[in-house]
């Protein structure tokens, strides 16, 4: 699992591209959410494990702009997406479940018309399952930045070029 410090250059590029909200799955101890809270205006982080959620909630409760939620991201994502006013950055920290090639919440995010950026720290941009998913009509390109696969909307050429240039 990546450390909180690992994605900070990526998060800075995402913020500089106009993304002010980060949605994270698998909060864990809250390290990534805490670090991201220094970069993004709003961080929404979801944790299914009750004990991990409670510990992270206690740790993050005093931080302005960080909202820890308890529940399964796959179930929560369809309700969360319509509440986002603008495109957001997503950090899908949950690896695919056994028997699945991609995180289940990925399809829901890619189908949303707002053009979100999705970061997949557990997948390579060259993963055949990812290439197949993108070939089925998702308007995103896979770019690798600091070892993290980022799915960037086709029409966000500036961000795609910045990620490819700084990689």
> pLDDT tens across 73-98, in order?
999 999 999 999 999 999 999 877 77
pLDDT bucket at 1, cuts 50 / 70 / 90: very low
Which position has the higher pLDDT, 167 or 119?
119
Q: Decide yes or no: CATH 3.40.50.920 for domain 8-166.
A: no
Residue from 37, 32, 79, 78 nearest 52 by CA: 32
Which letter does DSSP use for residue 97 in this model?
P
DSSP state of 70: E
pLDDT of 64 over the 70 cut: yes
Q: Which residue has the higher pLDDT, 167 or 144?
A: 144
Using the CB atoms, write b or e for 12-46: b if 16+ within 10 Å.
Answer: ebbbebebbbbbbbbbbebbbbbbbbebbebbbbb
Q: What is the pLDDT of residue 122?
A: 87
**Domains of the chain: which residue ranges?**
8-166
The pLDDT confidence band at residue 166, using thresholds 50, 70 and 90, is low
Q: What is this structure's pTM?
A: 0.92
**Distance from chain centroid for Cα 156:** 17
The pLDDT assigned to 167 comes to: 52
131-142, pLDDT tens digit by residue? 888 887 779 999
Query: Tell me, what's the pLDDT at 31?
Result: 94
């Amino acid at each position: 699992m990546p450390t909180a410090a690992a994605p900070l250059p990526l998060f800075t590029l995402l913020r500089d591209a106009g993304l002010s909200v980060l949605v994270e799955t698998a909060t864990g101890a809250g390290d990534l959410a805490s670090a991201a809270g220094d970069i993004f205006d709003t961080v929404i982080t979801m944790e299914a494990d009750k004990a991990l959620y409670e510990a992270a909630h206690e740790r993050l409760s005093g931080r302005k702009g960080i909202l820890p939620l308890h529940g399964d991201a796959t179930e929560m994502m369809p309700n969360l997406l319509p509440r986002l006013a603008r495109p957001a950055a997503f950090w899908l920290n949950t690896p695919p479940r056994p028997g699945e090639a991609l995180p289940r919440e990925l399809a829901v995010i890619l189908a949303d018309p707002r053009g979100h950026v999705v970061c997949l720290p557990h997948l390579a941009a060259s993963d055949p399952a990812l290439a197949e998913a993108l070939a089925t009509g998702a308007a995103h390109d896979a770019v690798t930045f600091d070892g993290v696969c980022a799915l960037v909307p086709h029409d966000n050429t500036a961000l795609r070029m910045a990620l490819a240039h700084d990689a």
